[in-house]
Structure 1
Amino acid sequence: MHEDKEPVLPLGSFLFPRIFQAFRMAIQPTKLLLAFLALTAVCLTGRVMDLNKTVVVAPSGLTELDEYVSASPQVDEHIRLFGETGERTGVFSTLWHFGAKRFHSAVLGIPRRDSLGIFADIAACFAALGWAFTYHPVYSVILFAVTLAVMALSGGAICRIAALQFAQGEKPGLVETVRFSAAKFCSFLTAPVTPFAIMAVIGLFIFLLGLIGNIPIVGELSVGLLLPLAFLAAALIAIIVIGTLAGFGLMFPTIAYEDSDCFDAISRAFSYVYAKPWRMGFYTVVAVLYGAICYVFVRFFSFLLLAITHLFLRIGFFDGNRKLTAIWPQPDLTDLLGLTAAQPTNWSTSAAAFLIYVWVLIVVGLMVSFVISFYFSANTIIYALMRNRVDKTALDEIHPSSNNMAGGPESAFQVARPPARDEDGPPPAQEKSE
């Protein structure tokens, strides 16, 4: 018979150690494959769009983005001075290298306890998005629309796998989880952008009030009289901003756990953040610290894999390893791709260098895929823990897929929900008969 309450265990109130399951869950091949395919799709889209190089680069190597995040940004002057004579690169390439550099710096800042440096790197990443949408709006809208669509499909599938694995110990297949994610694609797609749309609608009132202020005499009086309403609108926007930033990672897991829509995802994310903010913050900090340790380990493992391969190849090559150096430079912990190679001298070395670059790029891509998989897996665990604390929902409870419930074929990821009952009442008749 199903018990009404979970058994009370020693130290059972401490749920945060469950977050440490995220590493084991993140390295599951199905999740890594989904993350790798999503990363490949985004990178290919960015590379194709970068055929049109629009970012101005100074002779010193300083890009528009570097100028934008500097202490005294002068982006327009940078474009005016070097727009005709300077080199150009793509927006995606610029964002990728800038983000990778800042991400690596933030991770290394954790063991140094450089909190100011970590927040500066995070702020710089948000500033990079601002630069992209300000100076390359059309490119950015297209790129981020594709990225959002790809992550909605793959991230939703990863969260569903993580939810079933954490709740029931099951490991569903790739096809089943992609089918679930495709069925809930609209919910996954709209959940992250709906809060921004709501903020834009509320902010429209303040904008209209500013337009009214241009009217002589009546305008300034209207602003003075209606300013409290503008404060109220700004307060609502601030509440949404905090809820979105703090609860953003809970939106996909909500849909994966509850088989619900984007509004339920936003509602639950905001509810959990504001109901228990300190617990949410604590879980997030634990996940970030643990994730940083795991990333360093995975990066070191990737470097060790490449370094060992390069070492034994170097032993086998003759002629002072000049040929090996031409086709594959020695990898470094800070530069796994080894972009400082000598230029190939003929077509065979060029072809070999390209093939080796592709294979090394796959290794690096799998490392980045781990970061994506860990992000979704850890947030899925955090959602389950917060739901347990706020809604008193058992950790092993997960909603079955409505796609299967509608009469579709049985799948490995369909989980039965326990029968409903009152907290202190007798079990349902069906359970009695059993």
Structure 2
Amino acid sequence: MKQLHFDFRDIFRAPRLAFSIQRIWINGTGLLGGYVAYLIISYIALIIGGYSFSEIWKQSALLPCAFIMAVPWYSTILYLLGVIVLGAVILLTNTAVSRVIYMTLRDELFYTWTQAFKFAFKKWISSLGSIITFLFIIAFFVIGALVMGLIGRIPFIGELGTALLTVPYIFGALLLLFILIAFMIALFFVPAIIATSDEDALGGVFQSFSITFNQPWRIVVYSMFLSVLYIVGVFIFVLALKAAYSIFIFLFTIGMGDKILQIQEQALYIIDQSLPALYSWVQHLPGESGNWIYLTSQHPFPPQLNGVMTLAGYIMGIFLLFFGGVVVAYGEAIYNAGLTIIYIILYKLQEKESLLEREDEELKEEEEEEEKTETTEETVPPVETETKTKPKKPGRKPSAKSKKPRKKE
């Protein structure tokens, strides 16, 4: 079991805990699955909204958004469905990563990514149910306020009733504000709550309210620490990847000459066309940091290449997009690791109990299954192999008469 200080110093473990093939793989797999579902639903929404595939690709490519295009209401609803699917997949993925981080802190080093996904799918009702419960609570207050507003339209009674109930209404609005803040915190902390304390949906809601009410300043300060670590960790990781890519191009230029540069131009042009909005976003970063971690300029259409060179450029472009996904997955893993550590700290300071020392139901079930297996193996008697003897053929027994005494010569 890892020895924690149960203060801000433990948060500095987050980038190191996240830097693992297993955690990046879990986050990357979940993000890819959710993104593909979002991409398909978004394109369908825009196509039924009156746009052709080529028009959507030219404007948005791999980052479609219905809010920047004029679409009918049903396209917007379908697009929002894609956003909800993406959010649900990310929530389950974050639960799986938080579970792996929690097991790593308990020194359960042989906990696999398949076990993590199995746990996340087993707890999907708890993870999604916590968020849905918050939405129902918020909807109750909003609908109640709208109903009371309609009642306020009644002549004489409505005006006086609203004036007399001003104090309860304001306290109700304060309570709604607190619920909204707790909901925003729950969006980030529910995966860590479910993964570490094995709570159900109501438990996730209760713990979100508890840490929001009892330790709000710690949440703010620790989240600021984590945000700085996230920015620094991702920046260093991207910088290292770009340096490795530059070394690769430099060394291969010596051997391949201009061929590798032509393939690179084709690949970078594909990235520009696939992520048209990303270049402008990166350029808004302070100073020259955008050029350090991304493309220094947009790349025009490359010169005419033969079929093999064009294919090689497309393949390289796809792999560069893959490394971009790895960066996003690593950043998500940092946040999951940090939020898991923060919740363990908050729980320890509030309940005076370490979540790392509690009896985990999943591990308990595995131990019971192993004990049952060992007991079964001990109780089953060994199979004895009997040696089969061939039965003797019934021979003719000599009779007493046949036994004659030998004559003496």
Give the TM-score, by structure 2 length: 0.72
Structure 1 stretches lacking a partner, 5+ long: 1-8, 56-82, 97-127, 412-434
The match for 2:25 among 24, 28, 33 is 33
Change (3 A) 1:194 1:132: farther
Answering whether residue 172 of structure 2 is matched by residue 233 of structure 1, we say yes
Q: Quote the residue 1:367 is aligned against.
A: 327
In the alignment, structure 1 residue 249 sits paired with structure 2 residue 241: no
Distance 2:71 2:325 in 1: 23
Give the conservation status (yes or no) of the 8 Å contact 1:247–1:273. Answer: no
1:377, distance to aligned residue in structure 2 (A): 0.9
The structure-2 alpha-carbon separation of the partners of 1:26 and 1:212, relative to structure 1 and needing over 3 Å to count, comes to same
The one of 309, 315, 318 equivalent to 2:248 is 309
**Deviation (angstroms), 1:408:** 7.4
**3-state SS, counterpart of residue 353 of structure 2:** coil
Unaligned 5+ residue runs, structure 2? 272-290, 372-409
Residue 293 (structure 1) shift: 1.1
Distance 1:355 1:408, change over 3 A: farther
Q: Distance in 1 between matches of 2:345 and 2:72?
A: 36
Identity among equivalent positions (%) equals: 20
Q: In the superposition, relative to structure 1, how do residues 322 and 216 fare at CA in structure 2: closer, same or farther (>3 Å)?
A: same
Aligned partner of 2:332: which letter? I
Q: Which structure is larger by alpha-carbon Rg, 1 or 2?
A: 2
What SS does structure 1 have at the residue aligned with 2:63?
A: helix
> In the alignment, what sits opposite 2:404?
none
Counterpart amino acid of residue 308 in structure 1: I
Q: Check if 1:178 corresponds to 2:117.
A: yes
Deviation per residue, 1:17-59 (Å, 9 max, x gap): 111111121112211111111121122223323434749xxxx
- 1:257: how far off? 1.2
Paired positions, count: 342
For the residues of structure 1 that align with 2:293 and 2:45, how far apart are their CA atoms? Answer: 27
Matching residue within 369, 390, 407 for 2:350: 390
Structure (1/2) with the larger helix percentage: 2
Please report the RMSD computed on the Cα atoms of aligned residues, expressed in angstroms.
Answer: 3.7
Alpha carbons of 1:280 and 1:295: their partners in 2 closer, same or farther (altered >3 Å)? same
Determine if contact 1:132/1:140 at 8 Å carries over to the other structure. no
2:225 aligns to what? 286
- The structure 1 residue matched to 2:63, chosen from 84, 87, 93, is 93
Cα distance in 2 for residues equivalent to 1:197 and 1:176: 31
Q: How far apart are the structure 2 equivalents of 1:393 and 1:205?
A: 39
2:172 and 2:323 map into 1 onto residues whose CA distance is 48
Give 1:273's aligned residue: 212
The answer to whether the 8 Å contact 1:35/1:373 transfers is: yes
- Please state how far the C-alpha of 1:146 moved relative to its aligned partner: 1.5
Residue 195 (structure 1) aligned to one of 117, 129, 134: 134
How far apart are residue 92 of structure 1 and its match?
7.1
Q: Distance in 1 between matches of 2:354 and 2:71?
A: 43
Contact 1:259 1:399 in 2 (8 A): no
CA offsets 1:41-81 (integer angstroms, 9 cap, x no match): 122223323434749xxxxxxxxxxxxxxxxxxxxxxxxxx
Report the residue type matching 2:181 in the other structure: I
Distance in 1 (CA, whole Å) between partners of 2:303 and 2:370 is: 55
Q: 1:404 to 1:169 in 2, by over 3 A?
A: closer
**In the alignment, does 2:353 pair up with 1:353?**
no
- d(CA) in 2 for partners of 1:146, 1:46: 7
Output the CA distance in 1 between the equivalents of 2:107 and 2:258: 58
The 2-side partners of 1:52 and 1:177 are apart by 32
